[in-house]
Amino acid sequence: MFVSAEPHILHADLDAFYASVEQRDNPALRGRPVIVGGGVVLAASYEAKAFGVRTAIGGREALRLCPQAVVVPARFDAYLAASKAVFGIFRNTTPNVEGISIDEAFLDVRGVRRISGNPRAIAEQLRRDVREQVGLPITVGIARTKFLAKVASAVGKPDGLLEVPTDSELEFLHPLPVERLWGVGKVTSRRLRERGITTVGDLAALGEPVLTSMLGNGAGRHLYALAMARDPRRVQTGRRRRSIGSQHALGRGPTSSEDLEAIVVGIIDRVSKRLRKAGRRCRTVVLRLRFGDFTRATRSHTLRHPTSHTETLRAVAQELLRAAMPMLAERGCTLVGISLSNLDNESTAQLELPLDSQPRPEIDCAIDALRERFGAGVLTRAVLIGRQPRPQVPLLPD
């Protein structure tokens, strides 16, 4: 596969996204350590990170590390609005945008050089546009490959711009910690460091045969290729979303089964609405859980026929949760997530017989229209009254 010999891929990543939105919207928070989320840290400003506060740690531990931090509740509607505005700037920069999450994307700028200048000039303008139009800091990495561009943005943070010249790729990459390689998690990191392999250069020096014997054929070849700056993947645009999901972070304290079921109901309400808005149906419901020790589990159920009917999806999700309750009672729960996958287009769905047994979409559509016009709180399920479950945000803006 042909890969351009010059840096042309941008990885744009908003800095401490949730916390930056809070500091943007409340001038009193600027320059101060900010923690978003109380029970579990959803985001931390760089001022808080300087004290060791990190995403997903408990709120109590975060305040022990940084007692002077300001804790604010999450405002996911504000984050989603900011994300949509930033992605609009991405698409005004180049049509070749691949969203990775709500706050980061890859951009291929080869096709706009004659109009907008070289990749560095394009990245500088993009950063100015995001700062001036949305009021947020963003870091951009520029490189020949997606992997190097993402590493460059991570090294360039916060609020920076870093380009990796083609003739200096290994010089840039090899001194970095081995954990910078995609695929080196805690277990692989520990195995490598036990053998004295601490940098990307150390790993590259082992050679592919040694790595495959140590880590297996797939992992060994993958990591050696990345360590030698080989990554043939292109920026992929126009891909339809393969799943639609949302998650709810909880505190470290106990959560009742009734509260967990209410959280699942709230998530299903939200993601089923997004499913219908996108003109899709799903066949598979996936329940994702994170326990008190931060280990995870996944449970799923695949329906015979695709659907976007809220009650059908709710029943499946609640059954998955009930089956997992013994684990939750024993190990505690710090996060619940639901994703809908195996998506089909609404227009291609085949009707089942008998036709009068089909879920009727009129109620779902009427509720969607009311919430779209008057806000999400205009209609609330009885099980959610008084609980006020936190609204959730998608991984990518719709």
Beta-strand relationship, 104-108 and 97-101: antiparallel
- Burial class of 67 by CB neighbour count within 10 A (0 to 12, 13 to 18, 19+): exposed
363 residue type, one letter: I
Phi, psi of 40 (to 5 degrees): -130, 140
Helix/strand/coil (H/E/C) assignment for every residue in 229-275? CCCCCCCCCCCCCCEEEEEEECCCCCCCHHHHHHHHHHHHHHHHHHH
Which residues 6+ apart lie within 8 Å of 181 measured at CB?
200, 203, 223, 226, 227
Residue 194 annotated as catalytic: no
Look at the block and give the residue holding tokens 């250069």: 201
Q: Is the peptide bond before 354 cis (omega within 30 degrees of 0)?
A: yes
| Cβ atoms 39, 250 nearer than 8 A | yes
Coil/strand/helix, residue 177: strand
Rg (CA), the chain: 23
SS3 state of residue 394: coil
Which residue stretches of the chain are H helix? 17-25, 46-49, 59-65, 76-93, 113-116, 119-129, 146-156, 169-173, 186-194, 200-206, 208-215, 217-227, 257-277, 310-331, 362-374
- Tokens found for residue 298: 């996944």
**Token couple for 83:** 């994300």
Catalytic residue from among 104, 163, 169, 261: 104
**Which residues are tagged catalytic?**
104
